[in-house]
Amino acid sequence: MNAAAPSAPKPRALVVDDDRAVRESLRRSLQFNGYDVAVATDGAEALAVIGATSPDVVVMDVMMPRLDGIETTRALRQAGNDVPILVLTARDAVGDRVEGLDAGADDYLTKPFALQELLARLRALLRRAVPPEGDADDEVLSFADLSMNVATREVVRAGRQIELTRTEFTLLEMFLRRPRRVLERSFILEEVWGYDFPTTANSLEVYVGYLRRKTEAEGEARLLHTVRGVGYVLKES
């Protein structure tokens, strides 16, 4: 009789929120969906837990006492820790969203949110955190004066290094693999986030805006264009 194949290890998630009800709700929901979950009540505690347990992904509220989510994210990135981070922001807190992503968070979700959307975002982050295999080690994608090394995650435009979060990198990679092709919003959402939620569609517009800001920071010509009512295309201006 053959022995049963060993089961894959559970992904380890850290939930960071000072609201006990939110923290416990997320802990129970993630455990039910196959995660091994640790919790922290603020950023200072989160840094200690991350140092001790090395989680696979972090879900962190922005507004917290002692050390907030933005400061915690910035501290992790400055220390060279690239654990995937999803920040939770209030619906009207656009400044928090911008600041969180600039600090190095990989994705964001506005409250209130559907559990299925959170799970889809976490699956996407875990998938992006897996290093490329095989021929991807030497793969460089280029369009006009923009280039991307898939293995080293280096992005350069006209000799200028561009720092991207995981989500921004995945989105740009998708366009670089399909230059001059008009990509529908639904296709992009499935490719990058793995699911098409109405709120995720709003995230797409946000991330395209961030990519434009970063790739046009020195006055370079626009490469990412909106096709009204359809989606986006990577092409020369």
User: What is the CATH superfamily name and number for domain 12-128?
Assistant: Response regulator (3.40.50.2300)
pLDDT confidence bin for 125, thresholds 50/70/90: very high
CB atoms within 10 A of CB 55: 21
pLDDT beyond 90 at 135:
no
181 vs 92, higher pLDDT: 181
Out of 3.40.50.970, 1.10.20.10, 1.10.10.10, 3.40.50.300, the CATH code matching 138-234 is 1.10.10.10
Q: How many residues does the chain have?
A: 237
**pLDDT of res. 156:** 96
Tens digits of residue pLDDT in 43-55: 999 999 999 999 9
Per-residue pLDDT at 119: 94
Q: What is the pLDDT of residues 64-102, one digit of tens each?
A: 988 999 999 999 999 999 999 999 987 666 677 778 888
What is the pLDDT at residue 84?
95
- Whether pLDDT at 193 is above 90: no
Mean pLDDT over residues 156-161, rounded?
94
* Higher pLDDT, residue 118 or 136: 118
The reported pLDDT for the residue numbered 203 is: 83
**Residues 151-172, mean pLDDT to the nearest whole number:** 92
Q: What are the structural domain ranges in the chain?
A: 12-128, 138-234
Cα–Cα distance measured from residue 7 to residue 223, given in angstroms and rounded to the nearest whole number: 45
Average pLDDT value over all residues in the chain: 89
Q: Is the bond preceding residue 112 a cis peptide, omega within 30 degrees?
A: yes
Specify the pLDDT at position 96.
73
HSE (CB half, 13 Å, CA atoms) of 191? 17
Of the two residues 202 and 180, the one the predictor is more confident about is 180
Of 151, 150, 133, the C-alpha closest to 141 is: 150
Residue 7: per-residue pLDDT: 72
